[in-house]
Amino acid sequence: MEAHLKKSWIKEIEIGPRQILFGLEMDDVHLTEGVLSSIARQCMMHGQARLNDIVESLSTRNHLREFDILQMIFGFVHELKISFYLRNQPITALETKKILMKDPDTDICVILNKQVPVSTFQRVQQVFESMDDPLAGHTDQHAFAFAVLNRIKQWHTDLQTWHARSTTDGYPGSDRIRKLLVFTSHLLENQTAHALLTSCFEQARHLTAAAHDIRKIRVFYTKDLAFWDQVKQAMPGFRENLGDMEETSDIAGAYYELTVIFGSPEPFDQIPKARDLFDTVNACHLQIEARKLEACRHEARKRIDRVIRKLTPTLSAHPVDMDTQNRILLTLRQTRKKISGLPDIEQVNQVCQDTLDLTLDQVEELTGIPLDI
């Protein structure tokens, strides 16, 4: 048969739902039924339909543009109503478009997708209805299978993202996510309505468990990462103060329980408990840190006071004018006051040491005598 497909048509084909691509006109019920009926008749007569034959037949009898027919057929494939085959092997709509772009004469076959038994369909519907985020009700098998396909594709995409983060950034769940990726890959192997619903029926128990696990992992990776990072950053400080925490058995017990959860490969069910434990341990940690900071401030003020006591007679014993003496002493007193407002030990020690070093250098330059503190 003479080929009627043109590269210009094929190039313009969009892959996606007809409702989005064509609007109400191209989603007319009578038109839809007419195109599907034509495909069904040829499949009934020959076991399959040839893409060229469908386009020729419909354009001749219904005066439709060949491009519109092609676009509608590709939309049906996207919705799992029909499948493309090349040499008895199923191919996706995107693969078909690429093949036809290379050679419009390629003999592409179209097969009307089979339906599963009603009991199988209903069982799969029950599985997805039982999930925390159930699918909208569909009485049509192909429409329902299309919704299932999109759900599983989204799972697979999310799992790929989470697996990358778990391996790259050291977040938990890597093994579980990898197993779920294998499971969703298996479900996506054959993306026809019949094959997908059959696979979901056969894997109903595992599908329910997978959906439950995916929900938990999604909550962690979308809502709990900030908390997990907070715990990760706080743990070294907790370990440093563990000796003081062990003076209170309840706090030490909470710390050890938190470390078990934080070290778990799958802590997702225990995040609420981890939050409570973290709050308990962190409150004690902050109290300890506050005591250590105040002790550090006290020691820094003592160091400055010792320098002031030694500095006053030293400066008086040398020909250093009073303005210079007052300026040096004022800097020390201002630093002493400033220390009370510094937020952490590192800053207290740094500011104190910098001021003392500068002061001692000035005094030695003015008097020629190194001041021993």
**31 in the same domain as 80:** yes
Domain that holds residue 244: 223-285
Task: Read off the pLDDT of each residue in 12-39 and give the average, rounded to a whole number.
Answer: 67
Per the domain annotation, does 2 fall within a domain? no
Per-residue burial over 119-129, b = 16 or more CB atoms within 10 Å of its CB, e = otherwise: ebbeebbebbe
Q: Tell me, what DSSP letter sits at residue 372?
A: P
Distance CA 371, CA 373 (A): 6
Task: Read off the pLDDT of each residue in 31-42 and give the average, rounded to a whole number.
Answer: 81
Distance CA 161, CA 75 (A): 28
Give me the percent of the chain exceeding a pLDDT of 70: 94
Distance CA 11, CA 65 (A): 15
| pLDDT above 60 (res 101) | yes
**332 in the same domain as 302:** yes
Domain end, chosen from 58, 87, 112, is at 112
Per the domain annotation, does 329 fall within a domain? yes
Domain end, chosen from 266, 285, 304, is at 285
Distance CA 235, CA 232 (A): 6
What are the tokens at 135?
């699918």
| pLDDT above 50 (res 21) | no
**79 in the same domain as 59:** yes
Per the domain annotation, does 372 fall within a domain? no
What's the order of all strands across the beta sheet hosting 109-112?
49-50, 109-112, 82-86, 89-91
Distance CA 12, CA 18 (A): 14
Backbone φ, ψ for residue 360 (5° rounding): -65, -35
Domain end, chosen from 207, 222, 237, is at 222
Q: How confident is the model at residue 100 (pLDDT cuts 50, 70, 90)?
A: very high
In this structure, the number of other CB atoms found within 10 A of the CB of residue 202 comes to: 13
Distance CA 165, CA 131 (A): 25
Going by their DSSP bridges, the two strands 82-86 and 109-112 should be labelled as antiparallel
Per the domain annotation, does 312 fall within a domain? yes
Q: How confident is the model at residue 24 (pLDDT cuts 50, 70, 90)?
A: very low
**246 in the same domain as 180:** no
**168 in the same domain as 152:** yes
Q: How confident is the model at residue 59 (pLDDT cuts 50, 70, 90)?
A: confident
pLDDT tens, residue by residue, 275-330: 999 999 999 999 999 999 999 999 999 999 999 888 888 887 888 788 888 898 89
**245 in the same domain as 152:** no
Contacts of 90 (CB under 8 A, 6+ apart): 83, 84, 190, 192
CATH number of the domain encompassing residue 81? 1.10.10
**172 in the same domain as 78:** no
The pLDDT of residue 353 is 93
Per the domain annotation, does 253 fall within a domain? yes
Per the domain annotation, does 141 fall within a domain? yes
**295 in the same domain as 279:** no
Say if pTM beats, i.e. exceeds, 0.85: no
Give how many domains the chain has, as a whole number. 4
